[in-house]
Chains A and B, each alone.
Chain A
Amino acid sequence: MCRRSDASIECGLARQPGTRICPLMDMPATAAESAPAIHAEALTKRYAPDAPPAVDALSFAMPRGATWGLLGGNGAGKTTTIAMLLGLIVPSAGRVACLGHDMARDRFAALARMNFSSPYIALPGRISVAENLRVYAHFYDVPQAERRITELAGQLQLTALLDRPAGELSAGQKTRVALAKALINRPELLLLDEPTASLDPDTGDWVRSWLERYQAESGCAILLASHNMAEVERLCGHVLMLKQGRVVDQGSPAELLAKYGRDDLEEVFLDIARGRQRQPEPAE
């Protein structure tokens, strides 16, 4: 659906003559159901008119059911991108549609069908895990909320924690509660900002395994922003490498490893972040 250009990928669908916007953004309801999970076109954010863009003309179309990664160093624009996808930040230019809904005009219809988790945004700590999940079940109008909470608690090993105040949990437990909140509405699109940040290797691995299984069983599309290269390599079928708000490269982890001649994504990341090229092996 999309092809690469030098610094970004562009929507491959033909633009209508005389229009600026890709036809995916304004489509009838039935066509929108086959629209990509996320379709961003020239998405740009400047926090001040004279500041460099935090996100610069980012374009991509992420298919339904895929798991994609957003990789980049601090300040690369990952969080700003996710916030724009969620409608939390208004883009300075460009457009984004999630699940066929234009986020500028119809974001609440999209938000009901997607969800989000970030370790940097907490859940109210004084109320219990069950109460937190009930609040979000109401917000997302989840049918049979108690049954859904029980189901998620069982899957995420939270049953014994349901009556505990959320603020008294360990980091790993909080991550599982945040995941339960993010899955309360059976989202078709899940945005995860560093889902395993500050977790020990064992808990991090448990979360990754759980996400892998959930994605395979639910068919939910997942966009994952992470600094953890091994996590991205393991979970993501496609990676967007961001630097200074632009997509500087993209492809499957295997494609990127082959292209850069590296053994792991961390080295690819460093190559891109530092603008370095691997020296060819000397001929024998």
Chain B
Amino acid sequence: MSAGPSRPAGARAALPERARASARRIWGLVYRHLALYRRSWPRVLELMYWPILQMVVWGFVTAYLAGLQNNVTSVAAGVLLGGVLLWEVALRSQMGFSISFLEEIWSRNLGHVFVSPLRPRELVAGLMAMSLIRVAVGVTPAVLLAWLLYAFGLFSMGPVVVAFFAALLMMGWAVALGVTSLILRYGAGAEALAWSVLFGLTPFSAVFYPVSVLPAWLQPVSLALPAAHVFEGMRAALLQGEIAWGHLAAAFALDAFWLAAMGWVFMRQFQGARVRGALLNIGE
């Protein structure tokens, strides 16, 4: 039963040892959420439900439009369904991160998490890992169904689609860091944003139409979002069969900027919550 001294105060473990312990803490957070999904099939169903529904609705819209303009069937299908499926990556990424954080609030477990050795950056890494898993579980069935029902292969764009995935995933994380910051600042009352905030960015993200369609004064707003560059790149890949390297680079540069900015905001709000004593009782 002895209390176990591990290491003298002030002594630091070697870097590989610290990295191993850090990875284990991140895995602990991921394990906690995987255990939750293992015991809650409605949560798993919910992950797949919306992407599949979106894909089916837009698939029929595409088929209808293609019937009206029978010479552009594959192009219309590609642009609309590609947009739907890729946009779901950003949506599921943001929700996966934010809702995993909210699960800790709903279970009133946050106090235990924050007095454990789990660092805030490890918390963020764990939430990102959960977001990645949720995206894979949520979007994969929709991608497969698009192929089965509408003969649309998302990967027909080529390997560049992986880069599109990555860029949208990172954009989702940046938005989620902002949402989580608001929850740390205003409590769970801000949780509705976890569901709605990225939908609000849809008109400016050029998902279904080029940036040039937007009014001139709105175009800079759109071009400040990584998603707009991803979808311009997607249209270039589908319509011209080429990789728009400029847009791809812009998407990742903007991702880096927004992740750094939102990471800074998150750390500020986390520290602010410690000052206000809000970490003990984040609630309504």
B115 touches A88 (CB 8 A): yes
> Please, how many angstroms separate the alpha-carbon atoms of A115 and B25 in the complex?
16
B111 surroundings in chain A (CB, below 8 A): 88, 118, 120-121
A185 surroundings in chain B (CB, below 8 A): 4
Q: Could you say which of B2, B21, B113, B118 contacts A219, with CB atoms under 8 Å apart?
A: B2
A35 surroundings in chain B (CB, below 8 A): 9
B117 surroundings in chain A (CB, below 8 A): 108, 111-112, 139-141
B9 touches A99 (CB 8 A): yes
A138 touches B36 (CB 8 A): no
Asked if A126 lies at the interface with its beta carbon under 8 angstroms from chain B, I say: yes
| Given the contacts A126-B107, A127-B36, A139-B116, A219 and B3 also touching, CB distance less than 8 Å | yes
Asked if A125 lies at the interface with its beta carbon under 8 angstroms from chain B, I say: yes
| Chain B proximity of A130: nearest CB distance (Å) | 9
**Among B65-73, B131-139, B185-193, B271-279, the stretch in contact with A:** B271-279
| Given the contacts A30-B8, A134-B31, A135-B31, A187 and B112 also touching, CB distance less than 8 Å | no
Contact with B along A104-121 (1 / 0, CB 8 A): 001011111101101011
B107 surroundings in chain A (CB, below 8 A): 122-126
B103 surroundings in chain A (CB, below 8 A): 124
A136 touches B9 (CB 8 A): no
Asked if A22 lies at the interface with its beta carbon under 8 angstroms from chain B, I say: no
Asked if A100 lies at the interface with its beta carbon under 8 angstroms from chain B, I say: yes
> Please, how many angstroms separate the alpha-carbon atoms of A110 and B116 in the complex?
10
Asked if B24 lies at the interface with its beta carbon under 8 angstroms from chain A, I say: yes
> Please, how many angstroms separate the alpha-carbon atoms of A116 and B109 in the complex?
12
Contact with B along A20-33 (1 / 0, CB 8 A): 00000001111011
| Given the contacts A121-B111, A141-B24, A29 and B8 also touching, CB distance less than 8 Å | yes
Give the nearest-CB partner of B104 in chain A: A124
B24 touches A83 (CB 8 A): no
A218 touches B115 (CB 8 A): no
B9 touches A141 (CB 8 A): no
Asked if A251 lies at the interface with its beta carbon under 8 angstroms from chain B, I say: no
Task: Report A's interface with B, CB cutoff 8 A.
Answer: 27-30, 32-33, 35, 45, 47, 79-80, 83, 86-90, 99-101, 106, 108-113, 115-116, 118, 120-128, 131, 134-141, 155, 165, 181, 185-188, 214, 217-220
> Can you offer 28 A-B residue contacts whose CB atoms are under 8 A?
A28-B10, A33-B5, A79-B280, A83-B277, A83-B280, A87-B115, A88-B274, A90-B271, A106-B9, A110-B9, A111-B115, A115-B115, A121-B112, A122-B108, A122-B109, A123-B109, A126-B39, A131-B31, A136-B116, A138-B28, A139-B28, A139-B29, A139-B116, A139-B118, A141-B24, A185-B4, A186-B3, A219-B3
